[in-house]
Structure 1
Amino acid sequence: MTDNSGKIIRSIRPVRIFLPIAIGLSVTAYLLYREFDPNSFNLISFSGWSFFWLLFSFALMAVRDFGYMLRLRILTNKKLTWRKAFNIIMLWEFTSAITPSAIGGTSVAIFFVNKEGISVGRSTAVVMVTSFLDELYFIFTFPILLFFLGRSDIFVLDPSAPAIPWFQNKFFLLALGGYFIKLIYTLILSYGLFINPRGLKWLLLMIFKLPIIRKWRPQANESGTDLIQASREFKGWPLHQWMKAFWATFFSWTARYWVVNTLIITFFGIRWLGWEDHLHVFGKQLVMWIMMLISPTPGGSGFAEYVFKEFLAAFIPAGTGIAIAFLWRIISYYPYLFIGTFLVPRWIKKHFISHKHKIESSKNGSF
């Protein structure tokens, strides 16, 4: 962990916010230019209730962050204070916002948790379990939502277009592929966490002997060791603690997805969509999330706005989609960039510069 400190600190430099902001604003400006129609904004109404729903959108993001903080405190047996949990979540989100989604930030998250006073082993276990709970949310929520909707048009851009077979629907195939990847990953992780972590590590090392992936064998060995540590920490955890952690996860992710629904209510009124439509929007966001995971841009900048505009076009009046998408990103993405910009330097100063100064002072005082 110590050896990687310099590399991790360089990866979270606040100056890195400029790239995702530039990409996001450029794509937004281009799409606005293409679809701009002054008449379409006549459909937008703003009243006292609109202001309430807009504030509620921000409140949902606060609920999301609170749920993540609560989960960290549960998983660390309250060894993290609320302030430390807040720092970790904001730094974690900042890192996710300035790096491509496909890269992930597990090692960085472990680093943040460890620097807030949790041992490396426990930090590793906590981050692995958060990943497990996040995947579990998607695995349970997606099929339940499909069952209640009883329809498959969450996988199409235009519901009025002629129906096509499922095997020709690229969005359905992408969602199905993503779902099974998450399911397989969760099953393997469950086996390692709760049944046989050493056996899974041995299997990983055997697989990574293959010539084509041999160069990643050290990382596989490290992941296997992390899994053993996580199993040791959480295998005997009581059921009620697992339920607390899962419900914190459930409310966090659900609050995040419902931001879009509240934004639609904000500008088009509560009667614009029925409850089934709201579930439909929620389901489309689950599909969008899979698509955003493969985005090559930092935090999905540009890509997220485009996908939002195209995928939710059936629920937002033509000509207003990109404007609503931009507001969605202002609420759910850009705050983490700006909070991180102020928090990172103070956090580095506290944990590295001040710490180094204290060590040097203690050494000088000993002579």
Structure 2
Amino acid sequence: METINKQSSPKKLLHGVRPSRIIYPILIGLAVVVYMLVKEVDANTFSLIEFTWYTIFWLCIALFMMVIRDLGYMARLRILTDRKFSWGKAFRIIMLWEFTSAITPSAIGGTSVAILYLNKEGLKVGRSSAVVMSTSFLDELYFIIMFPLLILLLNVKQLFMIESPEHSIWLDSLLYFALGGYLVKLVYLIVLTYGLFWNPRGLKWLLLWIFKLPVLRKWKHGANKAGSDIIESSKELRRKPFLFWFKAFMATFWSWTARYWVVNAMLLAFMLEGYGFADHIMIFARQLVMWIMMLVSPTPGGSGFSEWVFTQYLGDFLPTAGLAASMALIWRLISYYPYLFIGVYLLPRWIKKHFKNNKS
């Protein structure tokens, strides 16, 4: 098995997460927001925004939701590593992991570099792979459980409808896109579960067989490494008791739920009246659909695309398109940009600590 301990591998992995790369998602996101603001904002837009103590309170709640999200991720990391990491070390790893995800396309994420982070912080490569794959398993499990539950609670047509100034648009294509994304996630979860807990060598064989196809052949080496990681991970994970997985899933549940509650808190901050319990559940559910769309964004961290989707899909809950564009910017300022700047501060120091006198 090729490990990340070879000299060229860490350099290759870290090449794509240079701190200087934060400029790209910032520029893309701001360009889209500025375009929408110039296009949609008029003299009446900001008259709709009234900053009061109520506004400040709910904005603080939105920030607190991000703290809960990160604490959940940190708690999950400590659970999955049998508390090998302190809270401080868990914080550093999660911030670096989020930074990596923020500057790479959403479909790529920070998985490969996350294994490196864990390995350099003291876990063996096999254990690091097991932890990263466990987080992937738990994240997908949350979505697979929550999405159908929300569908049962809500009016499906309302979930996939956007109110335009002229008429309501029933987005059949969006419904099919969401269902298609859900099925892809479900298949991925089933295959990952099968490989991690029952037949890891069989899954590796399947991966290598798939990547023999001419269009995929150039990624065969990566598929072989992924298969080896799955075999190593399986040895670690099959021994874990139910309580271990329950605690890890609860940490995952609170992390993802807090992530989505950020928008609910923001809307409460600026729209004092008119939202009932059903509206908040609808906003929550629409964010799950948004997450499917953001996964296919080719831009780093979904920059630009995320802001646009926010204005289009959650704009129904705001009185004007200009206000929706303003809210999209506030949303990203709370939930995305902090990880860029924290990562810029932490990553150079982390690299200096682990690679300055380390030739591995």
Name the TM-score class by shorter chain: over 0.9
Pick the aligned partner of 1:107 from 112, 116, 134: 112
Asked if 2 retains the 8 angstrom alpha-carbon contact of 1:45 and 1:268, the reply is: no
- Cα distance in 2 for residues equivalent to 1:209 and 1:233: 29
Instruction: Tell me how far 1:150 sits from its aligned partner.
Output: 3.5
Asked if 2 retains the 8 angstrom alpha-carbon contact of 1:265 and 1:272, the reply is: no
Counterpart in the other structure of 1:190: 193
5+ residue gaps, structure 2: none
| Alignment partner of 1:349 is 2:352 | yes
Asked if 1 retains the 8 angstrom alpha-carbon contact of 2:74 and 2:94, the reply is: yes
Instruction: Tell me how far 1:133 sits from its aligned partner.
Output: 0.4
Percent of aligned positions with the same letter in both sequences? 56
- Cα distance in 1 for residues equivalent to 2:216 and 2:255: 36
Cα deviations across residues 147-181 of structure 1 (Å, max 9, x unaligned)? Answer: 111433222222894575xxx71111110110000
Residue type of the partner of 1:45? E
- Cα distance in 1 for residues equivalent to 2:357 and 2:276: 55
**Structure exhibiting the larger radius of gyration computed from Cα positions:** 1
**TM-score, normalization by structure 2:** 0.94
| Alignment partner of 1:36 is 2:37 | no
Pick the aligned partner of 2:281 from 270, 279, 282: 279
**TM-score, normalization by structure 1:** 0.93
Counterpart in the other structure of 2:299: 297
Aligned length: 353
Counterpart in the other structure of 1:230: 233
* SS state at 2:45 partner: helix
Q: Which stretches of structure 1, 4 residues or longer, exceed 4 Å deviation after superposition?
A: none
Cα deviations across residues 85-144 of structure 1 (Å, max 9, x unaligned)? Answer: 111111111111111112222111101111111111100010011001000000000000
Q: In 2 relative to 1, CA 7–326 (structure 1 residues): closer, same or farther, beyond 3 Å?
A: same
Within a 5 Å distance, the mapping from 1:307-326 to structure 2 comes to 307-318=309-320, 319-326=322-329
Residue type of the partner of 1:24? G
Within a 5 Å distance, the mapping from 1:53-64 to structure 2 comes to 53-64=58-69
**RMSD of Structure 2 on Structure 1 (CA):** 1.6
Pick the aligned partner of 2:245 from 242, 246, 249: 242
Instruction: Tell me how far 1:355 sits from its aligned partner.
Output: 4.5
Pick the aligned partner of 2:128 from 108, 123, 139: 123
Asked if 1 retains the 8 angstrom alpha-carbon contact of 2:14 and 2:113, the reply is: no
Asked if 2 retains the 8 angstrom alpha-carbon contact of 1:146 and 1:152, the reply is: no
Residue type of the partner of 1:180? L
* SS state at 1:157 partner: strand
Pick the aligned partner of 2:146 from 127, 130, 141: 141
Pick the aligned partner of 2:211 from 208, 212, 215: 208
Single out whichever of 199-208 and 180-189 deviates more from structure 2: 199-208
Pick the aligned partner of 1:7 from 1, 9, 12: 12
- Cα distance in 1 for residues equivalent to 2:208 and 2:298: 29
Residue type of the partner of 2:128? S
Asked if 2 retains the 8 angstrom alpha-carbon contact of 1:122 and 1:229, the reply is: yes
Instruction: Tell me how far 1:349 sits from its aligned partner.
Output: 1.2
Residue type of the partner of 1:320? L
